[in-house]
Chain A
Amino acid sequence: MRSYIVFTKKELIEYGRTYKFFILFTIFIALGFMNPLTAKFMPKILESFMPEEIEIQLPPPSSLDSWAQFFKNVTQTGLFVAIIIFSGMMSREYEKGTLVNMITKGLPRQTVILSKFTASTLLWTLSYWTCFVITHIYTMYFWKGETVLELATSTLFLYLFGIMLISVLLIGSTLFKNSYGGLLFTGGFIAILFLLKLSHKIDNYNPLQLANQNINLLSGNLHPSELKSPLFVCCTVIILSIISSILIFDKKQI
C-alpha cells in the first residue's frame, strides 16, 4: 500500500514537471469558457456566412446549446488531447528503462499499473469536472433560470467513458514499446465502437452511447435507465482492461 501511494505521487509529480498536467488542465479550462461562448455566438456566425438572399430563422440559443457544445468539445477536443497526453504512460518507461531499477528493488509490478491508472484518472477527473463547473457557471449566467434534465447523470456518463478510454489506453501502452502503439490501439478500439453502431442489436450495449446520447438525455428524449447496459459494458471494460494490463505487464520483459 505504501509503495502504491509513493509511486502514484511520483507519477503526479512527473505529470507536473513534464507540463502535461498544465497543458491538459488549461485546455479543459479554456474549453469550459468556450462552450457557452460558442453557443451564444453560433447564430451570429452562421448569419455572417449566409448569403443575403437566403433568410434563415434560427431560434435564439438556449442553455441546451451550451451543453451541446460542452459534449461536442469534450468528446472531440478534450478526450483527444487527454489520450495524446496519456499515450506514453507505460511505453515511455520502457523506452527509457526507468522501471528496471524500481522493479528489481522490489516494487510490485501490479502497483506500477494501478498507480499509472490512478494518476491519469485523477488528472482526467480534475480537468473534466473543472471544465464542467466553468461551463455550468456561465450557462447559468447567460441563461438565467433555464434548466436541463439529467445534467449530472449525463456528464457522469461521459466521465466514465473517458475513464474507459484511459483504461484501454493503459493496455495499449503496456503492450507496445512505442507510444504510438498505445495510440493506435485506442484508435482501433474507438473505430470498433463506431463499427458496432451499425448493428442495431449490439448498439444497445455499445458504450459509445455514453458519449453520444448526452444531449438526448438533457432534452428528455431518452431516460437514463435506457443506458443501463452500455453503462454496465463500460464498467466491465474498465475492470477487464486493468486486470489484463496487470497480467500483460507481469509477463512483459522490461
Chain B
Amino acid sequence: MDQYIEYLPVIIPLFIIQIILSITAVIHVIRHPNYRFGKKRVWIPVVLFIGFIGPFIYFIFGRGDD
C-alpha cells in the first residue's frame, strides 16, 4: 500500500471530479424526467457506474430539452 501513497495527490482529485460529474448527472436525471431516449431506471445506473462516459453520454445525447 505504501507505494500508492505517492499517487494520492492525483488519485484524490480524480476521484472527486468523478463524484461531482456523477452526482450532477444523477440530480439532473431525477429532476428532468423527459429524455430523448431511455428511461429513468436506465439512466441512473448508466450515469453512476460508467465512469466518465456515462455522464457524458447522458448530457450530450440523452438529456431532453427543458
Contacts and interface: CB of A to CB of B under 8 A. Distances in A.
Given A81-B56, A85-B60, A22 B24 contact: yes
B18 A19 contact: no
A19 B52 contact: no
Contact of A84 (B11, B24, B28, B60): B60
B17 A23 contact: no
Dominant SS among interface residues on chain A: helix
Most buried by A among B10, B13, B55, B59: B10
Dominant SS among interface residues on chain B: helix
Interface string B19-56: 01100100010000000000000000000000010011
B10 A36 contact: yes
B5 interface: no
10 contacts: A18-B63, A19-B59, A27-B56, A29-B17, A33-B13, A33-B14, A33-B17, A37-B10, A40-B7, A81-B56
Interface of A: 18-20, 22-23, 26-27, 29-30, 33-34, 36-37, 40, 81, 84-85, 138, 141
Interface of B: 7, 9-11, 13-14, 17-18, 20-21, 24, 28, 52, 55-56, 59-60, 63
